[in-house]
Chain A
């Protein structure tokens, strides 16, 4: 059974804190993605990676960075959290970069106070 696991379901952080969101997939997929979901805005792509140590900016990369040191793990980093980064963060992986089905984790609900 395919699995994308996000380390934290719910986090509460203060403005200015550094935040790490971890994601692990067990499907040996090359491609991994970070999206955020906000009401009325749908899913927006933050960053993606198509190989270890490779990363590409998505549509809204500002305020975020990522790390892909191992194939199965893709981390999203908020260097200095701000209130407008309060959101649901969704990690996904896929075998094919553009025509493949995305497998999503359960999401991490981040609240920045």
Chain B
């Protein structure tokens, strides 16, 4: 059962426009969400995160929005640049009270920025 879903395997956006990547989750216990970016033949790198006590977090061109009632988060990239072309993974976690579960990742969205 997939707890973190990225329903768009790929997304193509023109350079300079806004890129919006979406992520849905089913586990209401999740309370921390992260976005990772991955280039081919490299490990994923952390991009931005948000705690469930917030509904928005911004870092330069990257903004993550969290809608807890809809169990939905999105990553906005404005303006999109060629170097943003990569696979983006949404990830979620929750404090299991002494246990340790790591992060649950979505399947990823391949963002392609067109010149």
Q: Which residues of A contact B (CB under 8 A)?
A: 4, 31, 33, 35, 40-45, 48, 50, 56, 58, 90, 92, 97-99, 101-107, 109
> B101 contacts the other chain (Cβ, under 8 Å)?
yes
Q: Which residues of B contact A (CB under 8 A)?
A: 6, 9, 32, 34, 36, 41-46, 49, 51, 89, 91, 93-96, 100-108
> Do A45 and B102 touch across chains, with their CB atoms under 8 A apart?
yes
**A101 close to B102 (CB less than 8 A):** no
Chain B residues near A50: list those with CB within 8 A.
Answer: 100
With A and B bound together, what is the CA distance between A21 and B2 in angstroms? 27
Of the candidates B42, B94, B103, B108, the one whose C-beta lies within 8 Å of that of A102 is B103
Number of A-B contacts defined by CB within 8 Å: 70
A97 to B93, CA, bound (A): 9
**Does more than half of chain A's interface fall in helix, strand or loop, or is it mixed?**
strand
- On whether the beta carbons of B43 and A104 are closer than 8 Å, the reply is yes
